[in-house]
Amino acid sequence: MNKVLIIVTGLLLPAIGLAAGGEYAYPDDKIEIDWSDKAAMQRGARSFVNYCMGCHSASYSRYNRVGEDLGIPEDLVRENLIFTTEASGAKTKVGALMKNAMTPEYAEQAFGIVPPDLSLVARSRGVDWLYNYLRGFYVDEIRDGLGVNNGVFANVGMPHVLADLQGLQAPKYQTVTDSNGNEHEVIVGFDLIKPGSLSKSEYDQTIHDLVAFLDYIAEPYKQTRKNVGTGVIIFLLAFLVLAYFLKKEYWKDVH
């Protein structure tokens, strides 16, 4: 009986830990990334170079590799994905790493913090977190300069760079009592107070695609790895059958 209890507690503990971690984060939605949907990742790549690379780099990825993986011809990569120039003034080459031109010193001055490289952020934060973070900016007048806060990343130093698309939202609060009897004001929803150029579902789709792209750059080999894995299993199964008949053949005369 005791053993059963220990096992059950052991199974439950991680779940309790998880619940505590994200208890008051809003929004708290989940997404599925379809790794075969290259079109979504292409749209995400476009959003990334347009809206994020002003401040962030993806310095483990090369433009031409991204083009190859996502099925974008090189001339279109050059036209649609590369907006930076080299020190000489010439357009960044298609084989270059996806780095932006901002120096850390300038970033430090402008934001008080250097915007992190986003190459691996889908792995460090997870795709659900990213999806919620990019949909979680809300108006907060108290925050000098930025004017926004974030329901998932409190007091973040990043401005709401997609406000033109999403519009501006105000938080709806509710008071909750935690297990220790303490009361907290938590965000339970948003009201759109200034519409953006996209509807809510269009904006959600745009963020979904952007997160799909971030997930791809964090692990470009994932698809290949899965395919190789399946291939190996099929080979092993086929080999098992072969080995079984071979064994039968060899032992035939012994018995």
CB distance 176 to 208 below 8 Å:
no
Distance of CA 9 to the CA centre of its chain: 32
Burial class (CB in 10 A: 0-12, 13-18, 19+), 63: buried
Q: Taking CB under 6 A as the rule, does residue 45 contact ligand HEC?
A: no
Residue 96 makes contact with ligand HEC by CB under 6 A: no
Find all residues with CB under 8 Å of 139, minimum gap 6, and list them.
147, 148, 168, 169, 170, 193
**Rule CB under 6 A: is residue 116 a binding residue for ligand HEC?**
yes
| Binding status of residue 220 toward ligand HEC by CB under 6 A | no
The site string for ligand HEC over 177-216 (x = CB under 6 A, - otherwise) reads ---------------------------------x------
Taking Cα atoms as reference points, which of 149, 59, 71 lies closest to residue 104? 59
- For 132, list phi and psi in degrees, rounded to 5: -75, -40
Size of the site for ligand HEC (CB under 6 A): 23
Q: Give the nearest distance from C-beta 48 to ligand HEC in angstroms.
A: 6
On whether the CB atoms of residues 119 and 59 are closer than 8 A, the answer is yes
Piece of the chain touching ligand HEC by CB under 6 A; list 26-34, 47-55, 197-205, 230-238: 47-55
Contact stretch for ligand HEC (CB under 6 A) within 31-39, 125-133, 191-199, 222-230: 125-133
3 state SS of 225:
helix
Give yes or no for residue 81 binding ligand HEC (CB under 6 A). Answer: no
E strand spans, 94-182: 97-98, 137-139, 148-150, 167-177
Q: What is the dihedral of CA 105, 110, 114, 115, to 10 degrees?
A: -140
Residue 51 in contact with ligand HEC, rule: CB under 6 A: yes
Of residues 45, 49, 81, 162, which one binds ligand HEC by CB under 6 A?
A: 162
Residue 113 engages ligand HEC in binding (rule: CB under 6 A): yes
Which residues 134-153 are close enough to bind ligand HEC by CB under 6 A? 134
Residue in the structure block whose two tokens are 């995400």 = 44
CA neighbor of 212 nearest in space, from 27, 45, 61, 73: 45
- Please tell me whether residue 125 binds ligand HEC under the rule CB under 6 A: yes
Determine if 115 is a binding residue for ligand HEC (CB under 6 A).
Answer: yes
Q: Which residue's CB atom is positioned nearest to ligand HEC? A: 52
Q: Does 165 bind ligand HEC (CB under 6 A)?
A: no
Chain positions contacting ligand HEC, by CB under 6 A? 51-52, 54-56, 111, 113, 115-116, 118, 121, 124-125, 130, 133-134, 156-159, 161-162, 210
